Chains A and B, each alone.
Chain A
Amino acid sequence: MEVYCPQLGMLIGFDYCLKAQNGLPCSNTYGCWKERVDVAAVLKANFTDEELAKVFNTVPKSRLERIMESVSEAGRKK
Chain B
Amino acid sequence: MEKKIFLSDKDMPKAWYNIQADLTTPLPPPLNPGTGEPITPDMLEAIFPMNLIEQEVSTERFITIPDAVMERLLMWRPTPLCRATALEKLLGTPAQIYYKNESVSPPGSHKPNTAIAQVYYNKISGVKRLTTETGAGQWGSALSFACNQFGMELKVYMVRVSFNQKPYRRIMMETWGGKCVPSPSPDTAAGRSFLEGNPDHPGSLGMAISEAIEDAVTSENTKYSLGSVLNHVLLHQSVIGLEAQKQLASIGKYPDVVIGCAGGGSNFAGIAFPFLRDKINGKEIQVIGSEPTSCPSLTKGRYVYDFGDTAGMTPLLPMYSIGHKFVPAPIHAGGLRYHGMAPLISRVFADGLIEARSYNQIETFSAGLIFAQTEGFIPAPETNHAIACVIEEAKKAKEEGKEKVILFNFSGQGTIDLPSYDAFLSGKLQDYSMPEGEIEELLKELKKIA
Chain A residues in contact with chain B, CB under 8 A? 1-16, 18-23, 26-28, 30-32, 34-37, 39-46, 49, 52-53, 56-75, 77-78
Q: Is B252 an interface residue (CB 8 A)?
A: no
Provide the residues of chain B in CB contact with A2, threshold 8 Å.
423, 428-429
Identify 19 residue pairs between A and B in the complex whose beta-carbon atoms are under 8 Å apart, listed by A's number.
A3-B361, A4-B429, A7-B135, A8-B135, A9-B135, A11-B420, A11-B423, A16-B202, A19-B449, A20-B202, A22-B207, A46-B447, A57-B327, A59-B306, A60-B317, A60-B333, A62-B340, A67-B47, A77-B214
Provide the residues of chain B in CB contact with A49, threshold 8 Å.
326-327
**Residue of A41, A42, A63, A78 with most chain B CB atoms under a 10 A cut-off:** A63
Provide the residues of chain B in CB contact with A6, threshold 8 Å.
263, 292, 294-295, 336, 339, 382
Q: Is B381 an interface residue (CB 8 A)?
A: yes
- For residue A60, which residue of chain B has the nearest CB? B334
Q: In the bound complex, how far is the Cα of B321 from the Cα of A40, in angstroms?
A: 11
A-B CB contacts (within 8 Å), total count: 230
**Residue of B159, B204, B294, B343 with most chain A CB atoms under a 10 A cut-off:** B294
- On whether A56 and B382 interact (CB within 8 A), knowing A32-B294, A67-B226, A73-B210, the answer reads no
Q: In the bound complex, how far is the Cα of B436 from the Cα of A37, in angstroms?
A: 9
Q: In the bound complex, how far is the Cα of B361 from the Cα of A35, in angstroms?
A: 11
Binds A, one of B29-37, B69-77, B113-121: B29-37
* List of 4 A-B pairs having minimum Cβ-Cβ separation, nearest first: A27-B334, A63-B340, A9-B136, A74-B217
Task: Kindly identify which residue among B47, B365, B445 contacts A71, using a CB–CB cutoff of 8 Å.
Answer: B47
Binary CB contact string for chain B from 408 to 429 against chain A (1 if under 8 A, 0 otherwise): 0000000001011001000011
B332→A14 contact, CB < 8 A: no
A72→B335 contact, CB < 8 A: no
Provide the residues of chain B in CB contact with A45, threshold 8 Å.
443
B30→A21 contact, CB < 8 A: no
B423→A30 contact, CB < 8 A: no
B295→A59 contact, CB < 8 A: no
- Distance in Å from the Cβ of B266 to the closest Cβ of chain A? 12
B46→A71 contact, CB < 8 A: yes
18 extra A-B contacts, CB within 8 A, seeds A31-B293, A35-B432, A74-B190: A2-B429, A7-B205, A9-B381, A12-B161, A13-B442, A27-B333, A28-B295, A39-B322, A43-B326, A56-B327, A60-B318, A63-B226, A63-B264, A65-B32, A67-B209, A67-B226, A70-B210, A72-B34
B433→A37 contact, CB < 8 A: yes
- Distance in Å from the Cβ of B399 to the closest Cβ of chain A? 28
Provide the residues of chain A in CB contact with B311, threshold 8 Å.
none
Tell me how many residues of B have a C-beta within 8 Å of chain A: 94
B189→A7 contact, CB < 8 A: no
Task: Kindly identify which residue among A36, A40, A46 contacts B434, using a CB–CB cutoff of 8 Å.
Answer: A36
A31→B434 contact, CB < 8 A: no
B450→A19 contact, CB < 8 A: yes
Q: In the bound complex, how far is the Cα of B429 from the Cα of A68, in angstroms?
A: 36
- Distance in Å from the Cβ of A51 to the closest Cβ of chain B? 10
Q: Is B213 an interface residue (CB 8 A)?
A: yes
Q: Is B229 an interface residue (CB 8 A)?
A: yes
- Distance in Å from the Cβ of A56 to the closest Cβ of chain B? 4
A31→B333 contact, CB < 8 A: yes
- Distance in Å from the Cβ of B243 to the closest Cβ of chain A? 26
Q: Is B10 an interface residue (CB 8 A)?
A: no
Q: In the bound complex, how far is the Cα of B137 from the Cα of A60, in angstroms?
A: 24
Q: In the bound complex, how far is the Cα of B229 from the Cα of A58, in angstroms?
A: 21
Provide the residues of chain B in CB contact with A23, threshold 8 Å.
197, 449-450
A61→B214 contact, CB < 8 A: no
Q: Is B144 an interface residue (CB 8 A)?
A: no
Q: In the bound complex, how far is the Cα of B39 from the Cα of A35, in angstroms?
A: 40
Provide the residues of chain A in CB contact with B33, threshold 8 Å.
61, 65, 68-69
Binary CB contact string for chain B from 278 to 309 against chain A (1 if under 8 A, 0 otherwise): 00000000000000111110000000001100
B419→A14 contact, CB < 8 A: no
B39→A64 contact, CB < 8 A: yes
Provide the residues of chain A in CB contact with B194, threshold 8 Å.
22
Q: Is B206 an interface residue (CB 8 A)?
A: yes
Q: In the bound complex, how far is the Cα of B307 from the Cα of A70, in angstroms?
A: 18
Q: Is B78 an interface residue (CB 8 A)?
A: no
